[in-house]
């Protein structure tokens, strides 16, 4: 692993920046945090499987999420919960493409495709998606980085521990090992730096202690100089801490993580319950704004 100070990706970023996305769109990153709504068009996702498993129900749910304050709609056609059966590329595409096409025509929301398959990503962007959310951080499908670069899509590169034999014991060291590998792939493929966000991958092959330590040490990932997108919504570790057994009982615990990680520098929050987390985010942003105002007054 290279020394962090010598890595060309690790530069100090200003508080305010712009995430460059496909189709000429962009998202301002700065004083206001953003909500990415989870829209699973699947029968078996861990929290909401079957609730929005056709294009019409998915469309109505997506509109509700926008009304509640979501800026990004993350469309997924395959469950990533542990033990979920793998779907074929054709099944995945049949689930997500009609919804993406309709949303792109009937809303101004930013659309993300939650996939690790390059062909699904390419077709989704053609249908109107702006962002690729890859839970394998470009490392599953060799063609993914090229698709992102060619289309000009924004990309969320997520850390995972799944299927790896090179994991490091320290949670931040392992984040840096994996994410540096992904960023090298992005750089070689020609992905623009301002098109990238990073996701620590809460709950992906991590135990509760690792997730909690990762959250506590989140500011250390600011070394990358890239926006952080986080997804703790209704995850198992939230249930372990709060004692809530079922995923839909974990929204209050999730909102608490939204506040904590916004104060630690996260920019985008991938959630199921948009309204609850939007309120939590508004409070966190107000607190950050008050702190900035105080510092500015003190500085004269």
**Domains of the chain listed by start with CATH number:** 16-299 (3.20.20.20)
Kindly tell me the burial class for residue 106, based on how many C-beta atoms sit within 10 Å of its own C-beta (0-12, 13-18, 19 or more).
exposed
Kindly state the tokens that stand for 55. 């294009």
Catalytic residues: 235, 270
Walk along the chain (300 residues) and give the pLDDT tens digit of each residue.
334 434 433 333 345 899 999 999 999 999 999 999 999 998 754 445 445 457 788 999 999 999 999 999 999 999 877 777 889 999 999 999 999 999 999 999 999 999 999 999 999 999 999 999 999 999 999 999 999 999 999 999 999 998 889 999 999 999 999 999 999 999 999 999 999 999 999 999 999 999 999 999 999 999 999 999 999 999 999 999 999 999 999 999 999 999 999 999 999 999 999 999 999 999 999 999 999 899 899 997
Kindly tell me the burial class for residue 119, based on how many C-beta atoms sit within 10 Å of its own C-beta (0-12, 13-18, 19 or more).
middle
User: Do the Cβ atoms of 21 and 132 come closer than 8 Å?
Assistant: no
Helices (H), the chain: 55-68, 89-106, 118-127, 144-151, 171-189, 208-216, 236-242, 251-263, 274-299
Axis crossing angle, helix 118-127 with helix 89-106, rounded to the nearest 10 = 20
User: Do the Cβ atoms of 117 and 141 come closer than 8 Å?
Assistant: yes
d(CA 78, CA 49): 10
User: How much is the pTM?
Assistant: 0.91
CB atoms inside a 10 Å sphere around CB 85: 7
């Amino acid at each position: 692993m290279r020394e962090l100070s010598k890595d060309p990706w690790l530069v100090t970023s200003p508080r305010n920046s712009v995430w460059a996305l496909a189709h000429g769109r962009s998202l301002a990153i700065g004083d206001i945090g953003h909500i990415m709504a989870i829209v699973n068009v699947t029968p078996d996702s861990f929290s909401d499987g079957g609730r929005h498993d056709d294009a019409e129900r998915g469309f109505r749910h997506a509109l509700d999420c926008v009304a509640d304050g979501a800026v990004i709609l993350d469309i997924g056609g395959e469950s990533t919960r542990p033990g979920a059966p793998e779907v074929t590329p054709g099944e995945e595409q049949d689930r997500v493409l009609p919804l993406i096409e309709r949303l792109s025509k009937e809303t101004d929301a930013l659309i993300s495709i939650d996939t690790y398959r390059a062909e699904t990503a390419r077709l989704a962007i053609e249908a109107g998606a702006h962002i690729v959310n890859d839970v394998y951080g470009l490392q599953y499908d060799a063609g993914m980085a090229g698709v992102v670069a060619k289309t000009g899509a924004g990309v969320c590169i997520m850390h995972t521990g799944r299927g790896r034999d090179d994991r490091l014991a320290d949670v931040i060291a392992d984040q840096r090992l994996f994410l540096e590998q992904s960023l090298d792939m992005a750089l070689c493929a020609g992905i623009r730096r301002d098109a990238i966000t990073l996701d620590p991958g809460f709950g992906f092959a991590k135990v509760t202690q690792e997730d909690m330590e990762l959250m506590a040490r989140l500011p250390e990932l600011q070394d990358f100089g890239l926006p952080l997108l986080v997804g703790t919504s209704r995850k198992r570790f939230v249930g372990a801490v709060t004692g809530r057994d079922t995923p839909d009982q974990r929204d209050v615990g999730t909102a608490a993580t939204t506040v904590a990680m916004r104060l630690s520098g996260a920019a985008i929050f991938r959630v199921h319950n948009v309204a609850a987390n939007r309120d939590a985010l508004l409070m966190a942003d107000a607190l950050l704004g008050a702190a900035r105002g105080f510092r500015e007054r003190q500085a004269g």
